[in-house]
Amino acid sequence: MKFRFLKYFFLSFIFGVLIYSCAKLNSQTANNTIPIETFKIFSKKELKDKIRGGWAGQTIGVTFGGPTEFRFKGTMIQDYQKIIWHDHYIKETFEADPGLYDDVYLDLTFVNILEKVGLNAPIDSFAIEFANEDYKLWHANQAARYNILNGIMPPASGHWMNNPHADDIDFQIEADFAGMMAPGMTNTASKYCDEIGHIMNYGDGWYGGVFVSAMYTLAYVNDDLDYVIAEALSTIPKESLFYKTIADVIQWHKQYPDDWKQTWFEIEKKHTSEKGCPEGVFNSFNIDARLNAAYVVVGLLYGEKDFFKTMDIATRCGQDSDCNPATAAGILGVMFGYDAIPDYWKPALEEVEDINFPYMDITLNDVYALTYKHSLQLIEQNGGEIDGETIKIKIQKPETVRFEESFTGLYPSEERYLREHYTTEDINIDFTGNGIVVLGNVNSICSVPSSDYVALLDVYIDGEKVEQVKMPYDYIVRKYDIFHKYLLDNKDHHVGIKWVNKNADFSIYMKSIVIYADTPSI
């Protein structure tokens, strides 16, 4: 009797466990979740191939989309418009248009610092190196460079109160290095993004880098693109506009699985409003991180793991149409490795692998080796193991980073497109609102090719001096916008700008003014 009771008890227990296990599995299936493996095993050869694939994909992608960059703003590139490629195309572009590669040479700068100073390099070492390089920069990067050279260090250098371009794409296109050196270690990559991304960005601008680096880390360990994108998005706070934008793209892809152009149109209707970058607020130009990240995701989802199709769609979405295919192709390059990239693209890439990258003293082959070296170090530091030719990576469950939002309490209300040159007179601006950005630069009247001249502009708001602005003529260290001020009292204001060291060889060119209010104008 006792034995029979124990037998029934044991069978009931086993039956209960099976029911619970099935219910749990069905719940996971219903929610489309895939459990993350605790560890992932690679051979050293496989890891090297994936690293090379990532850097190669990024370099091929940016070159492929280069001629279209910001030529198509708010319109897609039509199917009949051919995008060229040939076996010497990358080398030709290296020589003819080195500035095109800003989304790669910034990455390489950070890789270089990690090698020279170590994986725990202080943030100032990245910031100072970045600010003092002689390569061309734009938008959030250039604003941050100016800030750093004038004593505003990170994270303040990227904060929106100091940087009108805080939500721009800059760190999104430079965060590849963080993801590529942290295979399967999403939170480790996010830590690097937190420090380095705040050199030049904040809020959605920072989230772009976190999201992209997360996709790279996950692409090493999973080839399900839906899963990789969804897990990477889980690093972003749900209340952010960045999260909502990418979540919409994922939903529209499910709704229109065979029509990327319909999804592109839905993005245009809902997510193209800009209030940060003063060049894009009243313009079709949009360099916002979240919009361009949406185009990256469109390329990945509708490209269906085809290398060309992914780049082509990401490019044809327009706007920053060199950086977006670079990101998408880099992620595919990591997912499948260099060997899987179609041979058609390789001659152009292999021709430049031993040439110093534009503005850098290292080659792509050097970068492959450095990223591999840094990856092995991070793998061991984060619970992984290296045994001969075998690498065992401890996979990290992605964690959500903190919430940030740029340009709170500001709503675009007016643009004045002026295009005026000032040589002797002061600049006077009357406006009503709580914020203003004055766009412009120092121009040479006599077309001086180079000069160390720095214009000094005393800026007054309502009669009180608030700042002396330094405006270098040198393009590399220029101030990207003449002046900005946010979160003033929402009322009538007068801005006076006095040029205190006038020079007959130069003028102050005021391109336009963007004005903000504390409530929406409509």
Residue 37 has what pLDDT? Answer: 64
Report the distance separating Cα 306 and Cα 302, nearest Å.
9
Report the distance separating Cα 392 and Cα 376, nearest Å.
10
What's the pTM?
A: 0.92
Reduced to 3 states, what is the DSSP secondary structure of residue 168?
strand
Q: What is the pLDDT of residues 195-244, one digit of tens each?
A: 999 999 999 999 999 999 999 999 999 999 999 999 999 999 999 999 99
Report the distance separating Cα 190 and Cα 215, nearest Å.
11
Rounded to the nearest angstrom, the gap between the alpha carbon of residue 319 and the centroid of all alpha carbons in its chain is 14
Once rounded to an integer, what is the mean pLDDT over residues 175-196?
98
Q: What is the pLDDT of residues 256-270, one digit of tens each?
A: 999 999 999 999 999
- What residue ranges in 358-473 does DSSP mark as E strands? 385-387, 390-394, 411-422, 427-433, 435-444, 454-461, 464-472
Residue 131 has what pLDDT? Answer: 97
Select the more confidently predicted residue: 444 or 25. 444
pLDDT at 450 over 90: no
Give me the percent of the chain exceeding a pLDDT of 90: 90
Residue 446: band (very low, low, confident or very high) from pLDDT cuts 50, 70, 90: confident
Report the distance separating Cα 356 and Cα 366, nearest Å.
9
Please report, to the nearest 10 degrees, the dihedral formed by the alpha carbons of residues 120, 123, 124, 125 taken in order: 50
Select the more confidently predicted residue: 247 or 5. 247
**Is 35 buried (19+), middle (13-18) or exposed (0-12) by CB count in 10 A?**
exposed
According to DSSP, the residues that pair with 461 across neighbouring strands are 464, 495
pLDDT at 16 over 50: no
Report the distance separating Cα 206 and Cα 200, nearest Å.
8
Residue 4 has what pLDDT? Answer: 40
Decide if 85 contacts 342 (C-beta within 8 A): no
pLDDT at 322 over 90: yes
Would you call the peptide bond into 155 cis, given omega within 30 degrees of 0 as the criterion?
yes
Structure tokens at 257: 């699985």
Residue with tokens 């990239």: 341
Decide if 434 contacts 517 (C-beta within 8 A): yes
Q: Compute the mean pLDDT over every residue in the chain, rounded to the nearest whole number.
A: 93
Residue 133: band (very low, low, confident or very high) from pLDDT cuts 50, 70, 90: very high
Q: How does DSSP assign 234-292, residue by residue?
A: TTS-TTSHHHHHHHHHHHHHHHSTT-HHHHHHHHHHHH----SSTTTTTSS---BHHHH
Report the distance separating Cα 282 and Cα 273, nearest Å.
9
Q: How does DSSP assign 288-342, residue by residue?
A: BHHHHHHHHHHHHHHHTT-HHHHHHHHHHT-SSTTHHHHHHHHHHHHHH-GGGS-
List of residues 6+ apart from 255 with CB closer than 8 A = none
Residue 448 has what pLDDT? Answer: 78
pLDDT at 487 over 60: yes
Residue 371: band (very low, low, confident or very high) from pLDDT cuts 50, 70, 90: very high
Longest dimension (CA), the chain: 110
Domain 411-517: top CATH class:
mainly beta
Report the distance separating Cα 443 and Cα 499, nearest Å.
13
Q: Rounded to the nearest 5°, which phi and psi values hold at 70?
A: 55, 20
Residue 21 has what pLDDT? Answer: 38
142, containing H or E segment: helix 139-149
Once rounded to an integer, what is the mean pLDDT over residues 80-103?
96
Report the candidate in 241, 185, 246, 181 with the shortest Cα–Cα distance to residue 211.
246
Residue 522: band (very low, low, confident or very high) from pLDDT cuts 50, 70, 90: confident
Residue 449 has what pLDDT? Answer: 78
Report the distance separating Cα 153 and Cα 166, nearest Å.
14
Question: Domain 44-121+167-394 maps to which CATH number in 1.10.760.10, 2.170.120.20, 1.10.4080.10, 1.20.990.10?
Answer: 1.10.4080.10
Decide if 330 contacts 216 (C-beta within 8 A): yes
Once rounded to an integer, what is the mean pLDDT over residues 159-169?
98
Residue 383 has what pLDDT? Answer: 96
Residue 32: band (very low, low, confident or very high) from pLDDT cuts 50, 70, 90: very low
